[in-house]
Structure 1
């Protein structure tokens, strides 16, 4: 970083015309700028992004390894185009899920839960594969005492609003699904 600043100061001290007329001087500055290796540039970039996130009230609280999707979701929440729902996972910390308040079905919500859970596990460096087919077969999503049963139903129909808390409820086994008519 110091080398770049030094090179930039050198460049600023000279006239533009002097630099344009002196190709050897131009190459010296370029050589000084390329002395940073890849690892240093990556570290510098990460530090800069982290500082921007920490100092911006809109982005504060996002993880250091934030994804583009998370940034877009956070901006959508700030603009009122998305809502944040919290999934209570028992002993595990609550998981924040960002979805659109309009036209979001229960199935869309389940997909968002899958994405956020996978990202959370990846950040915690947990190499555990979750069978989502098994999860949705054994558990219902619940909002208050209301089970979100119909995957095609809009989440508004269940009264889900911003900052609502969801949780898993074990499905009850339905005996005698087929009733015989006498």
Structure 2
């Protein structure tokens, strides 16, 4: 039933011209962001990740907070990672000649719920290193740097309640993941 629903949704999105650029497995946050863009009330943030593509995060809230931005980054990067994993798997099957259009044999690609690949490239020494860590750990080790002002975003004092405007982040701002040790002067615990 899930496979047939997904296939029908894919067909509907491809048939309607204005919806053809929306992926069939769009997440709730991505869909709300698309609606906010259409209504003209969205906040778009670009997040650069070392060795990976720039992540476009569209926030639908009127005055988004840093906690909402972090949650959106996590959800959108997981969805993007899941899509790229599925495309790689489908490409591998096509190359081997195993590709099959029947939905009975199509299995979802298992993706770890939180991987280090979502922040920085895990490609080292010619092959992938997959470090499995949680987003809570990632936010402790990594922070966001406002590329436009070259200032780190200190979200530790506000517990995520500070709005983006209070932190000096405007619409269409570019942020970058950086190690906290480098910019905040913190030492890692042994």
TM-score (norm 2): 0.60
The reply on whether 1:74 has 2:29 as its aligned counterpart is no
Contact 1:101 1:156 survives alignment (8 Å)? no
**Structure 1 residues 136 and 48: alpha-carbon distance in aligned structure 2, compared to 1, 3 A threshold:** same
More displaced stretch, 102-111 vs 122-131:
122-131
Question: Which of 50, 54, 59 in structure 2 is aligned with 1:90?
Answer: 50
Q: Which 4+ stretches in 1 moved above 4 angstroms?
A: 38-42
C-alpha offsets along residues 28-62 of structure 1, whole Å, 9 cap, x if unaligned?
xxxxxxxxxx977864552222222xx11xx4532
Paired positions, count: 135
Q: Which consecutive unaligned segments of at least 5 residues does structure 1 have?
A: 1-37, 176-182
Question: Which of 167, 170, 186 in structure 2 is aligned with 1:174?
Answer: 186
Aligned counterparts, 1:4-153, within 5 A: 43-52=7-16, 55-56=17-18, 59=19, 61-100=21-60, 102-125=62-85, 127-128=111-112, 129-130=114-115, 131-144=134-147, 145-150=150-155, 151-153=160-162
Query: How large is the Cα RMSD of the aligned pairs?
Result: 2.7
**Structure 1 residues 104 and 42: alpha-carbon distance in aligned structure 2, compared to 1, 3 A threshold:** closer
Q: Distance in 2 between matches of 1:68 and 1:45?
A: 15
Q: Which consecutive unaligned segments of at least 5 residues does structure 2 have?
A: 86-109, 116-133
**Structure 1 residues 79 and 133: alpha-carbon distance in aligned structure 2, compared to 1, 3 A threshold:** same
Q: Distance in 2 between matches of 1:162 and 1:60?
A: 26
